[in-house]
Amino acid sequence: SQELEQSPQSLIVQEGKNLTINCTSSKTLYGLYWYKQKYGEGLIFLMMLQKGGEEKSHEKITAKLDEKKQQSSLHITASQPSHAGIYLCGAGRDDKIIFGKGTRLHILP
C-alpha cells in the first residue's frame, strides 16, 4: 500500500473558492514537503514543514503539519487559474523524499 495517501485524487473548484488537499502518512513524519507540478512540466517547491504544529504560508497557499496525526494539509484561499496543476506531498525518508500520487486541481473560470 502507498505510504503517503493524498486526498482527494482530483478536485474541480470554481475560481475564487477555497480548497484543501490532505496528505496522510502511514509512518512518522520527520519532514513534509509540498510541490506543485504544472501539466507536462517539472516540480516546483512550495514549502517544507518540519515541526509538529508548524504552519507556513506563501501568497494564498497555507500548509500545516499535524505530526501526531501524521497528516499535513494544504489550503488555497480564493483560488485562481494559476493554481491549477498537480500537488504532491513528499516525506523525508532517510536520504530521499518519497511522494504521494498527487492531487489534480482544476480551476473553473
Partner 1 sequence: GAGVSQSPSNKVTEKGKDVELRCDPISGHTALYWYRQSLGQGLEFLIYFQGNSAPDKSGLPSDRFSAERTGGSVSTLTIQRTQQEDSAVYLCASSLLRPFSGGELFFGEGSRLTVL
Q: Are 34 and 46 in contact (CB under 8 A)?
A: yes
Site residues (CB under 8 A) for partner 1, limited to 76-95: 88, 90, 92-95
Q: Which is nearer to partner 1, 79 or 100 (CB)?
A: 100
Residues whose CB falls within 8 Å of the CB of residue 53, separated by 6 or more in sequence, listed in order: 64, 65, 66, 67
Q: Which is nearer to partner 1, 32 or 76 (CB)?
A: 32
Q: How many helices (H) and strands (E) does the chain have?
A: 0, 11
Q: Are 43 and 51 in contact (CB under 8 A)?
A: no
Q: Which is nearer to partner 1, 11 or 43 (CB)?
A: 43
Site residues (CB under 8 A) for partner 1, limited to 9-68: 30-31, 33, 35, 41-45, 48, 50
Binding site for partner 1 (CB under 8 A): 2, 30-31, 33, 35, 41-45, 48, 50, 88, 90, 92-102
